[in-house]
Structure 1
Amino acid sequence: MAVRNDISGLLAYIGREGDWRARLQDVVAEHLMPALQEFEIDQDDLAELLGEQWSGVLWGCGFEDFLGRQYEDGNIVDLYLKRRGWKETVLNRAYFASLREAAVSLYEVSDVQPGVSMVLRDLLSDAAPVTVREKSASRTLKQWDRISVRVVPERDLHVISGALLPFRTEAVDFLFAGLRDALKLKKREALRLSRDQLLGCAPIFTSAWLFIEIDRALTPAQPQFTNSDGEDVLFHDLQFALAAGATQKAIAERLDLVKSLLPDGAKFWNWLSARKTRGGKAGGGIMLDTQMEGATVLGSLEMKGKTLLVTVNSAERAARVESLISAAAGDLLGPPLTTIRTVDQMRADQRHDGPRNGADKIPPEIARQLMQEHLDKHYRETLDTPIPALGGKSPRQAVRSAVGRQQVIDWLKLLENRTAKHGDGPIAEYDFSWMWTELGLEWHRM
């Protein structure tokens, strides 16, 4: 059975022709060498550094660029079809000709139908979005991913070429800067490229991707966690032993009188912020924030036997809660013993403890429903919460201006894209369409 879009014959022909083989190697070098020289690594080291799967893709970026190159003695695809085209299928001949004409560009992914198709919008031209038939990539790509690839017409459909690179946000910025510099565009000029310009700039796409990915591989970023007060996350477990003669009931009565402690049963309290929060204060990094009753949960308290166990996520909150408890029930408790854990240690403890079994295990369908309800509540509050990425405005406020509207669109895409990559489960499956509708932006999600 013939392989669809089989390039083996073309590759064999190039390998036998010395000039063309050398030209292909030169074009591949154009794509790889700027980054390799900058980071002082060899091409052979790429597979070990980035993963074996990327070696073929990166070579393919240069190969596909080479197929569109014109030399004094012609184009390799034209020459091959003239001399060996009779040995190829009609589909292969048409594919080679279309791939030769296709320019690489940066596309935004939407309407993903896993294993079937996806819609691609060219971010470097005003061309209408195009639906491409794709089985493999459509199973891994998520809504609003950005990829560099060539879109190839095939009969009455479109397909994508084999050299596909997924672009992180920082890689997109690096690419745009590189394109502006290469084309000598002013900062405020729209970044819109013709087909000929895209063909000429093909190595910049590969280089931009490589610069970011090599840098990440050599210096992997460690995520920084902060709480909603902007404090570094460091989990503190404070254990207050009951004083001689003190009872759980007596301590519970004292804690129930503290305004910021919200009871959750007879032996458990959530410590809430004194006033409703209007958005996190955290700067960089990942902010950990749990909301309840419209306020931030600062920590939790639980009576266990002859111990009051308190858990908070920063040194500052540990000091505050110790003062709070001492003022409320200090005469009934001894001084606390404190255990401190980092985020990594907390994760390790959770992995070691494993999932709960038996009667404590929540049925999957109930857990899914609870998570969906939590996310609905969280994101509905978010619409009225100041967001740093929106200039400190809430999404509802930001959409009132043209500039703010575009910022909200970008923010929603980033939010939806990151959530979709959360693995399997209710978080990754969450449907954000209602937020677009709520903000009057539903047409921008098509």
Structure 2
Amino acid sequence: MSERNDITGLLAFIGREGDWRDRLQAVVAEHLMPALEEFEIDEDGLADLLGEQWSGVLWGCGFEDFLGQRYEDGNIVDLYLKRRGWKETVLNRAYFAALRDAPVSLYEVSDVQPGTSMVLRDLLSDAAPVMVREKSATRTLKQWDRIAVRVVPERDHHVISGALLPFRAEAVDFLFAGLRDALKLKKRDALRLSHDQLMGCAPIFTSAWLFIEIDRALTPEQPQFSNSDGDDVLFHDLRYPLTSGVTQKAVAERLDRVKDFQPEGAKFWNWLAARKERGGKAGGSIMLDTQMEGATVLGSVELKGKTLLVTVNSAERAAKVQTLISAAAGDLLRAPLTTIRTVEQMRADQQRDGPRKEADEIPPEIARQFMRDHLDKHYRETLDAPIPALGGKSPRQAVRTAAGRAKVIDWLKMLENRSAGHGEGPIAEYDFGWMWVELGLQEHRK
């Protein structure tokens, strides 16, 4: 811990001064109580719910806000430095004075150098991005993360304060709505706050973070999955027994005639979309689908012994493929037996069965290259695919307008940020730089 972060003397001073101690508690309560009252929990319950590690950070949000408060009889930092400043180091005195005047704001993280520095762009002002020196936070923060923190000037560089809150996308939206409401701004008004406005709105940052995090902890979000048709994902395995006396060859000849069945060997077909799909739901669900030769794979069809096995990922596709198979080979097959599995059940089956033997035989570097190649192919196809977040336009179409470019930039940042959040491995390591260049947006990747 560096000297500038030593608040021991200041805390002891506040503790001895009754009015200032009560004022600190009142400011901390202003940060915490709206959420605690809404969810009917106390501070002990909050620590149990979110984890002890957040108790200190949340208290720190209130404490740092308190340091900037001006009362009729003055400011606590001014008073402390006047009476006890002689006991502090030069660094501590300068840090307290700078922290007193530094407002909290929401920053976008970029150019992270783990253990060294990162660049922060203030999302609530037009100030130029600033490079801050930071060791611990840069080891966990990823490109395009958003954080609420105070940026403090220190000699010839900048540092961040100790109270840092990472903001999820929904927390950002909640914060922006709260700030607009507090400042009586309309939706079309630019959300640009002055220094004094940010200083006065500090509790809104903590409350916005708490409301989202408490809600998530109490009601863990279940991921929603859809396919490229917008159908809810529900895996259907259809098993058609072959009619007595019917051979695989006879069924295969019929299936070969189905226009949308692409053969892959003598006994296997990919069911491909007849046209390019319009993309999945716009409501934030995760899209599960596979692309092949520019078309979406709607399902698979395979002959196994005396059975025709069909696998699709939605009830709607199951109904469609049954119609196709009935028309092509209905007289050669009996009624299908259908097994339905959710995404969670599919994962549980895969974990129970264990990894395939072949997977263990693939060297890690080759496996990583396979994944990089797959991601390259996937994202190249994505540039020409309709994206719900872009209003149903493809990224190449959307960048043709100023409004569309802004949406594509946010979309690219979301892709990079989610990819970086996968920890270690080829997904986290994937370099999206070529996509920014391909779309002519490389100057915005800073």
Q: How many angstroms apart in 2 are the aligned matches of 1:119 and 1:303?
A: 56
Equivalent residue number for residue 288 of structure 2: 288
Once the 2 structures are TM-superposed, how far is the Cα of residue 215 of structure 1 from its aligned partner? Answer: 2.1
In structure 2, how many angstroms separate the alpha carbons of the residues matched to 1:241 and 1:362?
Answer: 35
| Stretches of structure 2 lacking an aligned partner (at least 5 in a row) | none
Give the C-alpha shift of residue 111 in structure 1.
1.0
Which residue number corresponds to residue 94 of structure 1?
A: 94
**Residue 416 of structure 1: aligned partner:** 416
Q: Secondary structure at the match of 2:279?
A: coil
Any idea what SS the aligned residue of 1:431 has?
coil
What CA distance in whole angstroms lies between the structure 1 residues aligned with 2:131 and 2:282? 39
Q: Does 1:312 align with 2:347?
A: no
Task: Provide Cα deviations, 1:76-104, integer angstroms capped at 9, x if missing partner.
Answer: 22222233223322222222222112110
d(CA) in 1 for partners of 2:75 and 2:122?
26
Equivalent residue number for residue 215 of structure 1: 215
- CA deviation string 1:308-329 (max 9, x = no partner): 3221111121222223233333
CA-CA distance at 1:161 after TM superposition: 0.9
CA contact (8 A) 1:110 1:120 kept: yes
- 2:268 aligns with 268
Structure 1 alignment gaps of length 5 or more? none
Q: d(CA) in 2 for partners of 1:93 and 1:432?
A: 43
**Residue 276 of structure 1, CA deviation:** 2.9
Distance 2:311 2:96 in 1: 63
Displacement, 1:4?
A: 5.3
Stretches of 4+ moved more than 6 A in 1?
A: none
Q: How far has the Cα of 1:207 moved from its partner?
A: 1.1
SS in 1 for 2:310: strand
Preserved contact between residue 145 and residue 417 of structure 1 (Cα < 8 Å): yes
**Which whole-Å CA distance do the structure 1 matches of 2:363 and 2:320 have between them?**
37
C-alpha distance in structure 2 between counterparts of 1:73 and 1:281, whole Å: 60
Code of the aligned partner of 2:180? R
Counterpart of 2:266 in structure 1: which amino acid? A
Mark the CA change 1:331 to 1:189 in structure 2 (over 3 Å): closer, same or farther: closer
Helix, strand or coil at the partner of 1:428 = helix
1:49 equivalent in alignment to 2:15:
no
| In structure 1, distance between residues paired with 2:266 and 2:108 | 52
% identical aligned pairs: 83
Matches within 5 A, 1:193-232: 193-232=193-232
| 2:371 is equivalent to residue 362 of structure 1 | no
State the partner residue of 1:9. 9
Write the mapping of 1:12-411 to structure 2, written as runs, cut at 5 A. Answer: 12-277=12-277, 279-284=278-283, 285-357=285-357, 361-411=361-411
Amino acid at match of 1:33: M
Aligned CA-pair RMSD: 2.0
C-alpha distance in 1 between matches for 2:384 and 2:290: 16
Using the alignment, how far apart are the partners of 2:299 and 2:20 within structure 1? 67
Task: Show CA shifts across 1:162-207 (max 9, x none).
Answer: 1111112222122122222222334333222221211111111111
Q: Greater CA deviation, 310-319 or 415-424?
A: 415-424
| CA deviation string 1:215-259 (max 9, x = no partner) | 222233322222111222111111223333333344333333322
Is the CA contact 1:77–1:97 (under 8 Å) kept in the aligned structure 2?
yes
1:15 maps to a residue whose letter is G
8 Å Cα contact 1:5/1:91 also seen in 2: no
Q: State the alpha-carbon separation in 1 of the partners of residues 359 and 410 from structure 2.
A: 44
TM-score, structure 2 as length reference: 0.94
TM-score by length of 1: 0.94
